[in-house]
Amino acid sequence: MSIQPPGVVVVGSINADLVVTLERHPQPGETLLGRTLAVMPGGKGANQAVAAAKLQARTTLIGAVGEDAYTDVALSGLRSAGVNIDAVQRVGTTTGVAIVEVDDDGENTIVVIPGANGQVTAQLVSAAEALIAGAGVLVLQGEIPAASVAAAVDLARGRVLINLAPVIELDRTTLLRADPLVVNEHEGALVLAQLTGAPAPSGHADTVRALLSCGFSSVVMTLGGAGALVASSSGVLKIPAPSVSVVDTTGAGDAFVGALAARLVADDSLPDAVRIAVRAGAFAVGAKGAQPSYPSLDDELPAAPSEAPSELQQEADA
């Protein structure tokens, strides 16, 4: 009997996304007319699982949904992408919902109602111990309770990728298991404050260096259209993003994380995995919605621009 190689296991949120398009975002107290409303599958955990599976990583999702009108929609993208959802439990509450507003510039605002995601307890996670222990890469985010994140990390035997979005309070030992920690610039500053009580330095490279000094093995900071920084004991490397037309940024960060996990479980180096992840994220902003916009292996990713030298090399050349 053949033995399957370790895959990607995501422990995280599952939502239905209610996506509203409008000319611009309203000011506080202002009422605007929207243009369209679409109901799509979402949730950071589900998004990242779909992104990994569409790039042919063997992917399993552990989470929870409710028993309501949004359940089938929330699970539809996972089923279509071939994600194993046997460990997704149905609980006696509503399915998680995200209300997403997308303006004409493709920028979004998001309000999340956790619903069943708040019922992803440490006990639910522990029931999937064998799946988590067998994962080549375990992926976690901040849309489930902190105790559940800690329980999953405790069970992991492979690589742990923590995308701390949103930033929640985690035990230092749990957080430092991340290899890599994936954050954007705002989340990176919040994590640094959580660990040190100090404000972040003014520069992105200095912020990721400061995070490394806290004890992380590696840190990836996403910078939107500017690409990403990869920080490890080898230094800080800037990975630029392709130049693309932006239709909708919803879920682009999750496309990045899912692609990153897919390439790490395939034994790419962290910089090489980030190179693919940046291109996957750039692909995703070219279409509406989260999961429907993610690339498969049949899709041609935007061409990567020339890469900047590492920060350490720049300093040496100065």
Active site residues: 254
Q: Determine contact, residues 261/140, Cβ cutoff 8 Å.
A: no
Amino acid at the residue 43: G
Largest CA distance in the chain: 63
Cα separation, 162 vs 140, in Å, equals 5
Beta bridge partners of 60: 9, 84
Cα separation, 99 vs 241, in Å, equals 28
Half-sphere exposure of 38 (CA within 13 A, CB side): 12
Q: How many CB atoms lie within 10 A of CB 317?
A: 7
Place of tokens 């243009």: 35
Q: Is 312 helix (H, G, I), strand (E, B) or coil?
A: helix
Q: Which of 20, 19, 40, 39 lies closest to 31 in space, CA to CA?
A: 20
Q: How many residues does the chain have?
A: 318
Q: Determine contact, residues 230/237, Cβ cutoff 8 Å.
A: yes
* Phi, psi angles (nearest 5°) of residue 100: -115, 125
* Cα 62 off chain centre by: 15
Cα separation, 205 vs 6, in Å, equals 33
Beta bridge partners of 124: none
Dig out the tokens for 45 from the structure: 């955990």
Q: Is 8 helix (H, G, I), strand (E, B) or coil?
A: strand
Cα dihedral across residues 194, 198, 201, 206: positive or negative: negative
